[in-house]
Structure 1
Amino acid sequence: MEAKALVLEQRRELSLRSIDLPSRPGPDDVKIRIHTVGICGSDVHYYKHGRIGPFVVEEPMVLGHEASGTIIGIGSNVRHLKVGDRVCMEPGIPNPVSRASKLGVYNVDPEVRFWATPPVHGCLTPEIIHPAAFTYILPDNVSFAEGAMIEPFAIGMQAVVKADMRPGDLCVVTGAGPIGLMVALAALANGASEVLISDIVDEKLAIAEQYDGLTPVNTLNESLREALDQRCGGDWGADVVFEASGAPHVYDNIISYSRPAGTLVLVGMPIEPVNLDVVSAQAKELRIDTVFRYANVYDRAIALVASGKVDLTPLITDTLAFSQSIEAFERAAEALPGDIKLHITLGS
């Protein structure tokens, strides 16, 4: 089927044109009319650089993987969904019989096919086909815009699951970009007493300041270690530290933010090698964990938004029409200080 889509032709070249995409759902699939798609940092990275690590754009690829929409067709084996259901979609499709899937860690299945990761097309097109098993109903009180935010929020959920948090934990999040804010909100929902979130951009920290329990720290003006000292003394630190900036220099001091026997969770992806003081981590006997996407958290992410315990709407900076997709990506590539999440809408 020929369908109009936002296509990354090659590095720094986008077009809004027709492309041949699957049009009929298989027996275990659903067909979805896309309503809202968020622009992720990985989408922008592919646009600007044409690759992320070993994933290289070698032929035209449809962008987008944070989406919501409405089911307009179902496969013969699908029972838990129906035409008309409002849904959001988990964009990674693993091999269900792989070793990773059988262990419950399908996000690290080497065979996973993830939207808008070469050579897999994304979802910035009016209709897509997707496995029903990775399609989730949106409750009536969750908007399409919020549904498109579930994918990045799932990363925050994965981070707190990996952290094995306890109620009342004091947390630190380094980086107040979209993912850092998602991690911070997930930590609050998981029982953190306070989350210190650091950045050097006041506009990002102003978003964090809207939430009770999030304490912004501009590290151009205040040391994060000093902010921790005010709460727990110079010989202690946070129960859980989440690194969500991906900035290599953050690793220079990150061990000092944690208390002895605390937890460090690495969420951001540095594009350069980092220096991690392993001996200092050993001396504190830190537990260090990592995050790559998410697994088995989507339903809980949706439930938290539906319950009102997590409000993602302040993170949505602006929404542009599908016809403005190229403009939206050019704006996202500028990384304006006040932009957290840009949305593209295909529905009314």
Structure 2
Amino acid sequence: MKALVLERKGELKLRDIDLPLDVGVDDVKIAIDTVGVCGSDVHYYTHGAIGSFVVREPMVLGHEAAGTVTEVGAGVKHLRVGDRVCMEPGVPNMSSRASKLGIYNVDPDVRFWATPPVHGVLTPSVVHPAAFTYKLPDNVSFAEGAMVEPFAVGLQAATRAKITPGDVAVVIGCGPIGIMTALAALAGGCSKVLVSDLSAPKLNIAGQYSGITPVNIKETSLLDAISSVTDGWGADIVFEASGSPRAHQGIFDLLRPGGALVLVGLPVEPVAFDVPASIFKEARIETVFRYANNYDRAVNLIASGKVDLKPLITETFAFNDSIAAFERAAKGLPEDVKLQIRVSE
């Protein structure tokens, strides 16, 4: 079966590869339609590793996916052949202590698509547990279905923030996850969300949404923008979604006393953390790793029309142009938010 294979750091090939397609009693087989290009996929391509996850042998990329069910296992009751679905890419050990606590996203044994040594889904067909496969409503396209995975990260962040209706939030970083965190915060009850970045094109996209105020920190102090909106009190919630160590400098100045700092972005360099500043404001600090128990809620929010992710899809590439899609993503063009690959003909 043809797939987009990361042979080693910096080398991609679109070639045939043997992948297991046996359908177990609780599994479904899915014909892949659309796959999003994620920053982690690109990082494996350009760096060959993310932390302790190192590409040591060829690996199929892709984990943001939607498609059509083509076969169901004998024990599957909620899905049928022909159903349009999206898939949660992390499969935990359901008997683990983490899973029993409801935090299966941090199960040490979780198998996550396109995370070494687990293959991803940039290939025409995959087999996946039905329990982590979700039917798409008729008004949700495959392209939107493939956006559920990154939106679930934003929804996890909004959930961890424990939003109170009317809260004012700030999102640092206007990449795909930053914008989706802002949209999730609005859906969760925030009255307004300020989103900061250096990229004018991305801020212009974020600013199209009602309730989001873009702040270009080349031109405006984020602290001044927050002070203006909150009469100097500070934001109720600050979401750090850039992963930049510089963003952590003075971050507690943005927060009101007793507010929440939610860490979403993953720095690749050490971060100086101002413990006294966090204590003086008795800040609540939350962290986000992927998502748990919110994939179906993400689908429902998109279907309701309260969250529109379509403006975030910059371009869709044909499967045969997958390598070009990754080369484009690796450039990090300021006008690009989300690139997708259409696997089906």
TM range (shorter): over 0.9
Partner of 1:145: 143
Partner of 2:276: 279
Partner of 1:199: 197
Partner of 1:16: 14
Map 1:65-144 to 2 at 5 A: 65-144=63-142
Q: Partners in 2 of 1:346 and 1:21 — Cα distance?
A: 16
Report the aligned-residue RMSD.
0.6
Length, aligned pairs only: 345
Structure 1 residue 53: Cα displacement = 0.1
Structure 1 residue 117: Cα displacement = 0.1
Q: Give 2:185's aligned amino acid.
A: A
Q: Give 2:313's aligned amino acid.
A: I
Partner of 2:318: 321
1:311 is the counterpart of 2:308:
yes
Q: Partners in 2 of 1:120 and 1:250 — Cα distance?
A: 32
Partner of 1:190: 188
Structure 1 residue 231: Cα displacement = 1.4
Structure 1 residue 191: Cα displacement = 1.0
Q: Partners in 1 of 2:17 and 2:96 — Cα distance?
A: 31
Partner of 2:257: 260
Gaps of 5+ in 2: none
Partner of 1:241: 238
Q: What percentage of residue pairs aligned between the two structures are identical? A: 66
Q: Partners in 1 of 2:135 and 2:226 — Cα distance?
A: 41
Structure 1 residue 170: Cα displacement = 0.2
Structure 1 residue 233: Cα displacement = 2.5
1:343 is the counterpart of 2:340:
yes
Partner of 1:55: 53
Structure 1 residue 264: Cα displacement = 0.4
Report SS of the residue matched to 1:20: coil
Q: Give 1:239's aligned amino acid.
A: D
Report SS of the residue matched to 2:121: coil
TM-score, normalised to structure 1, is 0.99
Structure 1 residue 347: Cα displacement = 2.0
Structure 1 residue 78: Cα displacement = 0.6
Alpha-carbon deviations, 1:39-96, whole Å to 9, x = none?
A: 0000000000000000000000000000000000011111110100000000000001
Structure 1 residue 23: Cα displacement = 1.6
Q: Partners in 2 of 1:82 and 1:208 — Cα distance?
A: 37
Gaps of 5+ in 1: none
Report SS of the residue matched to 2:69: strand
Partner of 2:292: 295
TM-score, normalised to structure 2, is 0.99
Q: Partners in 1 of 2:58 and 2:229 — Cα distance?
A: 52
